[in-house]
Amino acid sequence: MAGRLVKTIAALAVLGVVGAGSFLYVTRPQPHPAAFWDGAGTPDVSNGELVFSMGGCVSCHKAPNATGEAELVLAGGVALDSPFGRFYAPNISPHETAGIGGWTLADFGDALTRGVGRNGEHLYPSLPYGSYSRMSAKDVGDLFAYIKTLPASDNVAPPHEIGFPFNIRLALGGWKFLYLNDQPRVELASADDKVKRGQYIVEGSGHCGECHTPRDATGGFLSDMWLAGAPNPEGKGRIPNITPEGSIAAWSESDIVTYLTDGNTPDFDYVGGTMADVQKNMAKLPASDREAIAAYLKAIPGRKSVQ
């Protein structure tokens, strides 16, 4: 009996080691293959500036309270509150040590689209790589080239304020296993080129779902409630439902375009709150991109809001 018990315990221990090893392998940081970034081609700084606006990079990475031209000094330090703790946006200016001046395109792109840090560590999804994973290598490369033209800052952002167990980066591999992919958020069977462009912006670089989609207890999107509205991740109130059955159900595509262009709503109101910064960035895009966003928002499935 004793020998059988020892063998059973040994077998369980081996299974435990194998299981742990398998988990660590499946959930390891997984950057893109190096060849992926060859697809970025020759940088187009002008397109990079548009991608920069599309992604709203200034909103998080400027210095706190910076305005005007000072916003382009991407010194970091803005606090991002969440149910899991307080995150601080890092310095992504071209400073060689405090920022990303010493990074390669692969360093930058793998952080942005795969949540893998320069030292091979998992990054927290306060950087919305769950959305940016859908960005093309070309847009990432152009964005990187544009950021390198901006002023450098030697500011070092404060460390994140995260309690146990969310401060265990190893667990982020499990989160990525569940939620990180580059597949469409919704399947649009008859999408034309305009709708497809809108999908690329909204689901990817525009990362609209990060605020407009409800999440489960571990912070992953409720996939069947895409853009159906959610609690404000940074405080009071709710982010509106922007599906065809939500708060903009009565808006035409033209109304949406006007809102993104100058902030005016069809009921004579004006954009407010954190959306004001988003609208300001969207106004810098070509009119065709705002039209594409509007077409996409009218093409997705309608969802009833969850209170």
Q: Tell me the pLDDT tens digit for each residue of 233-253.
A: 766 789 999 999 999 999 999
Per-residue pLDDT averaged across 216-230, rounded? 94
In a domain, 29, yes or no: no
In a domain, 1, yes or no: no
Of 157, 179, 201, the position where a domain reaches its end is: 179
Distance CA 122, CA 208 (A): 23
**pLDDT surpasses 60 at 1:** no
Residue 200: C-alpha distances to residues 16, 37, 244 (Å): 42, 19, 18
**45-54 vs 275-282: helix crossing angle, rounded to 10:** 150
In a domain, 12, yes or no: no
Together in a domain, 167 and 198: no
Together in a domain, 55 and 163: yes
Number of domains in the chain: 2
- Which residues contact residue 115 at a Cβ distance below 8 angstroms, ignoring those fewer than 6 apart? 29, 122, 123, 124, 125, 127, 129, 130, 172, 176, 180
Contact 188/300 with Cβ under 8 angstroms?
A: yes
Per-residue pLDDT averaged across 115-122, rounded? 96
Please give the model's pTM, rounded to 2 decimal places. 0.91
Together in a domain, 93 and 205: no
Together in a domain, 127 and 46: yes
In a domain, 86, yes or no: yes
Nearest residue to 157 via CA among 227, 63, 272, 262: 63
In a domain, 214, yes or no: yes
- Identify the DSSP state of 200: H
Specify the pLDDT at position 28.
81
Is residue 77 very low, low, confident or very high in pLDDT (cuts 50, 70, 90)?
very high
Together in a domain, 66 and 138: yes
What is the CATH number for 90? 1.10.760
Together in a domain, 236 and 158: no
Per-residue pLDDT averaged across 152-168, rounded? 94
Per-residue pLDDT averaged across 139-167, rounded? 96
Per-residue pLDDT averaged across 174-186, rounded? 95
Of 150, 179, 208, the position where a domain reaches its end is: 179
Together in a domain, 164 and 65: yes
Together in a domain, 47 and 163: yes
What single letter denotes the amino acid at residue 114?
R
**pLDDT surpasses 70 at 6:** no
Distance CA 171, CA 180 (A): 13
Task: Indicate the range of 25-34, 147-156, 264-273 predicted with least confidence.
Answer: 25-34
Q: Which domain holds residue 276?
A: 193-299
Of 124, 156, 179, the position where a domain reaches its end is: 179
Strands 79-82 and 238-239, how do they pair?
unpaired
In a domain, 143, yes or no: yes
Q: What is the H or E stretch that residue 87 is in?
A: strand 85-88
Specify the pLDDT at position 173.
95
Together in a domain, 40 and 143: yes
Together in a domain, 143 and 238: no
Q: For residues 4 and 179, which has the higher predicted lDDT (pLDDT)? A: 179
Q: Tell me the pLDDT tens digit for each residue of 8-52.
A: 555 545 545 544 455 455 578 899 999 999 989 999 999 999 999
Range list of H helices, the chain: 2-26, 45-54, 57-61, 105-114, 129-132, 137-147, 172-179, 193-200, 209-212, 253-262, 275-282, 287-299
What distance lies between CA 57 and its chain's CA centroid? 10
Q: Which two tokens stand for residue 202?
A: 């909204």
Together in a domain, 174 and 44: yes
In a domain, 149, yes or no: yes
The percent of residues above 70 in pLDDT, for the chain, comes to 90
Together in a domain, 147 and 242: no
Q: What is the H or E stretch that residue 36 is in?
A: none
In a domain, 252, yes or no: yes
**pLDDT surpasses 60 at 193:** yes
Mean pLDDT of the chain: 91
